[in-house]
Structure 1
């Protein structure tokens, strides 16, 4: 078992509108776990890495897009724990950006892959690594049972119980782990997901694939703002106001949509009075690098 100490406190936060409605919000600060292997990225890698060690593998092979926090986390984890890392990058040959540059700096090999080939990840893996006994397959975003198992620890590590737990979601792995832990501990906690892409209803099916007997989560599918990595002025304005008033950094792809949803639901009196809500901050703040120019910021000052 790999040893990795991290700090992820439960931090209470209150905005005026939340106070007026007597809603209590706490943030699980998984963004503080590590600057690059942060949030649910670490949790979804933990048991995958341990399994790779058990199987005597020395190379982690995974998948992601050009701004993938998962790829960056895998690259850093590989450098930290002594693995070679390779990623099938869903991007045109030669595309570069700060996240890709950091992946390379951590020693990750990138195989640029077109969208058609990328759809069949197992075939891609087999084509390049069928004769390599040291390669270990990790699905995009850490999706799967081992990823969900790590995310169960979000719940088992809590210092108190909550009426509601909220999390942004793309593959459903984090939500699967949270709901399974809530079921196992027999908590009276309602689990909510904020899909960050269009058509997020499919996430419930992905959760059931991992844990077939898990209770359904509540998905709020109206907060994608046009799709994955898409934004709108109302979202960007909310993020600027939230960050400047709370001191907690969020970004437009995942956590910005999550906190916007929380604020909107509170404004609509969705919650019972005195509800205790836990919001999972899943990290991934490097995603801001690809969108800073959409904010009203002057970086030349």
Structure 2
């Protein structure tokens, strides 16, 4: 049976705050802090632990023994779920976008999932888009038996509730708190946990489609409604810094991340954290933050 308490993962909480003296911010009289959520746990860093922990508790309380979730070929969420399964005794199943991947050697991310005991199930991209349809879920149940579904990226109402503690840990530490967004759960909970007068900024790492506002606007609103019964906190999205979409980059982003690493001797995860810091630097150069204010960037993952 699964271990009844995911606290057995022994997270390092609260995660540390690290002040960074960075020229684009310092020139404008703005303090930059890094909220080092990447140091919470070696296998479940940052928002992955915060989002998974309440879902794991719910699964254990219900006596469920298997977790099924979804992700792409380089999904940090799949890796974290597989690691949690290994540590806590859950069976884990990963539904992976792209049936062509089944015919190729596993990349390092998926190989890590497999090494942690996750059963990988590859589906074509059209079917993946329908992953929450009842008939698709019924087929998965027929194949794998009973399981608890954890959404792609781990974002649901329980995950948003789990991320409120991130906001509480930052009360009084910064005027603006920023986080990179993939599925919106971290931003939904972060904003709910901050104190009145603080604001949260989400930097989406995916394109928003052709319409406005960005699709994550509705997603975060829905998550807050499900988790808290309605809107919570002050937050907004700045969708300008996706650099081409999920796991995409540009020469400018690559150069920025390499330079930041060299200046501060800190590794910068490219899918989320690089875009977050790149966006915050651009905002600082636009004088988006008042002189004398403090900005905290949530470091959600490791390279």
Pair in the same fold by TM > 0.5? yes
In structure 2, the CA distance between the partners of 1:131 and 1:56, relative to structure 1 (3 Å rule), is farther
Q: Which residue of 1 aligns with 2:299?
A: 281
Contact 1:179 1:214 in 2 (8 A): no
1:254 matches 2:272: yes
In structure 2, the CA distance between the partners of 1:132 and 1:234, relative to structure 1 (3 Å rule), is closer
Q: CA deviation at 1:70?
A: 0.2
Q: CA deviation at 1:94?
A: 2.6
Contact 1:125 1:137 in 2 (8 A): no
1:114-148 deviations in whole A, cap 9, x for unaligned?
A: 11111122343321215977411101000110111
Q: CA deviation at 1:42?
A: 1.0
1:13 matches 2:20: yes
Distance across 2 between alignment mates of 1:16 and 1:131: 55
Distance across 2 between alignment mates of 1:238 and 1:133: 47
Identify which of 259, 271, 278 aligns with 1:241. Answer: 259
What is the RMSD computed on CA atoms of the aligned residues? 1.7
Task: Spell out the pairing of 1:1-301 with structure 2 (5 A cutoff).
Answer: 1-3=5-7, 4-7=9-12, 8-91=15-98, 92=100, 93-95=102-104, 96-122=106-132, 123=134, 124-129=136-141, 134-158=146-170, 160-182=172-194, 186-199=195-208, 201-212=214-225, 213-215=230-232, 217-285=235-303
Contact 1:56 1:134 in 2 (8 A): no
Moved more, 124-133 or 112-121: 124-133
Unaligned residue ranges in structure 1 (runs of 5+): 286-301
Secondary structure at the aligned position of 2:111 is classed as: helix
Contact 1:24 1:275 in 2 (8 A): yes
Secondary structure at the aligned position of 1:85 is classed as: strand
1:152-184 deviations in whole A, cap 9, x for unaligned?
A: 1111233633210100001111100011223xx
Q: CA deviation at 1:18?
A: 1.7
Q: How many residues are paired up?
A: 282
Contact 1:178 1:191 in 2 (8 A): yes
Contact 1:44 1:143 in 2 (8 A): yes
Contact 1:69 1:284 in 2 (8 A): no
Moved more, 129-138 or 154-163: 129-138
Distance across 1 between alignment mates of 2:76 and 2:34: 20
